[in-house]
Amino acid sequence: MILSQIRELLNAELVSEQEAHSIDIKFAKASDLMSDVLAFSQPFSDRNTLLITGLTNKQVVRTCEIAGIGAIVFVRGKNPSAETIELAQQCNIPLLTTKLKMYEVCGILYTNGVSGASTYGDEEKRNEK
């Protein structure tokens, strides 16, 4: 699903200047623990994963850059600091913010076809067969 569609579904605001229509999101993970995001990152990093989180500090953006995550949505109406936005722009990672809670965001995206990150690779396996 294109990021701009996700933005509409979540009634979210784009808080950084990247173009939201250029990113195709297939997977999502939701966590406030950055070490868990790193520990369970996929063996490939083609930036088609979205991180759903309530943390807004710079380390969230760094974690996404390291783990190859393509975009971030901040939940519970949280707004990242200017520093976080600046880093996200440097790393080319779009930031969205929504008033919805984490559980609601997960539910909406899941029912609209965004898979959990643990299913990563299933599609490749199917294609190989």
Partner 1 sequence: MKNRVLFQQEFEIQGGDFVNAGESSCKIRNTLREIGINSDIIRRIAIAAYEAEMNVVMYAQHGTMKINVYQDNILLIIDDKGPGIENIELAMKPGFSTATEEMREMGFGAGMGLPNIKKNSDVFQITSKVGQGTSLEIKILLNGKNG
- Binding site residues, partner 1, CB under 8 A: 32-39, 41, 43-45, 53, 55, 57-60, 62-63, 65-68, 83, 91
Least Å distance between CB 71 and partner 1? 17
**CA–CA distance, 95 with 108 (Å, rounded to integer):** 18
Instruction: State phi, psi for 96 to the nearest 5 degrees.
Output: -120, 155
Least Å distance between CB 127 and partner 1? 18
Say how many C-beta atoms besides its own lie within 10 A of residue 101's C-beta.
Answer: 13
Question: Based on CB atoms, which residue is closest to partner 1, 93 or 105?
Answer: 93
Question: Based on CB atoms, which residue is closest to partner 1, 32 or 122?
Answer: 32
Helix runs in the chain, H state only: 3-9, 34-39, 58-67, 82-91, 102-111, 122-128
Question: Based on CB atoms, which residue is closest to partner 1, 17 or 83?
Answer: 83
